[in-house]
Structure 1
Amino acid sequence: MNTVAVVARAASFSPLRCYVLEARLELLRLLRTPSFVLPTLLFPPLFYVLFAVVLAGSRGGSDTGRYLLATYGVFGVMGAALFGFGVTVASERERGLLTLKRALPMPPGAYLMAKMLMAMAFATIISLTLALLAGTLAGVWLRPAQWALLLVINVLGVLPFCAIGLYIGSRVSGSAAPAVVNILYLPMAFLSGLWLPLSVLPPVLAKLAVAWPAYHLGQVALKVVDRDGGGSLAIHLLVLGAVTIGFFALALARARLARSV
């Protein structure tokens, strides 16, 4: 009877259920981690209220609100992806959790897919919160298609930063990962024009902004609200795609090398 039960259970095994369960547990785990969830979900809307509503006031009008709606959305999804991958992967790798997961009867991609879906879920929450604040407090008016497109850009925009975070997590220790992510995250946000327009930065720094993936994602989002610098959309998307593929490939190569040693 026990053998029959085991065979029946094996026959009903569903890889899709493994993906769903892993994603659900990853999301619940991070929602129960205040050190991750509070800054990730609160900093972008707090900064938006401070700079787009309180400090801008009547001087900035809806133009400032539109600009910061796009750029702080990018700033928020960057944090969710970089910290969600960079810090957690490094910590789990150091504790041996990745070795354990490789020994479990689960699809190889379930672990990465769960983390990507987690980052997309947080990106959705951040985007909707900023949209609510922009529409109610900052007086921003956009067409329904623009609101929807901003949401799509933010949700898909986590992918390059998930890839960068995965590479960081595969390279550094769990204790060093938060510092490494912060050293990358905050300067990249500032130098990409997410906090201030590039026109107010020194010309040398403004010219170097194109080296940052956050700049390209920011320009894609700013195109939706008609506040971008006029660059080619195809170039921005090409850079983001190259960063995503390149860093995922580097991280996977690093993981294979570590297993072979």
Structure 2
Amino acid sequence: MSIVNLSAYRFVSLDDLPALRERLLQRCHDLALKGTILLAPEGINLFLAGPREPIDRFMAWLREDSRFADLTPKESISEAIPFGRMRVRLKKEIITMCMPTIRPEGARAPAVTPATLHRWLQQGRDDDGRELVLLDTRNDYETNVGAFVDAVDYRISSFTAFPEAIAADRQRYENKTVVSYCTGGIRCEKAALHMQDLGIEHVYQLEGGILKYFEETDGAHWRGDCFVFDERGAVDKQLSPSPLSDEPFIDDAASSSKKHDEKQA
């Protein structure tokens, strides 16, 4: 039996977290689903796995709550469930940035679809002729597994280090179009809003992240695999499980950020 691996998030104000946690946990247990759901005052972030019918039943049930009606999940298929149990956790943030002024539920940053980014990468510019810069907002152990070619990678060990890294490198992005990306869209959404607050113009987030890019394009301009936070380890461009290698996909895991600094020295 094929297993559907589903991930989705939504920034939306939630104020009934303990009761919501119990309802979600019970529903997942009833449907024999496994995975992790994160709940915080700013929204929901979920990773679930199970056969097609119970996954679809869960999503239909969840969307009956108007706060989650427009959840747009990313899906991939595996032969086994890549989670050992079902957890629903309460957190301060569904993705920790420690920047309380960034509230994506109020106003999203502009986004580009995977098809648009694919076209921009093919033509080497955005539709207005500006130079394109891809910005990886993930952690170093994730970017070691795979990344877009020539993307800026700050080699951060935690997303909380992103604000300091971008503040020290603002000049790089002047008069360019920046597309921030991450695994499923959640980190690059906060990152894009923060960059706007810093006064960086022409900032976009990749809608649906790397997983949606793999789902809707041929994966061109990507090297390696995509790290995922479950027992699969990673997925390839076809969204098939791809066990993690002992070696990074580039020889020395050097970032384009490092190369840029060397050129300026």
TM-score when normalising by structure 2: 0.29
TM-score when normalising by structure 1: 0.29
Higher strand proportion (structure 1 or 2): 2
Q: Which has the larger radius of gyration?
A: 1
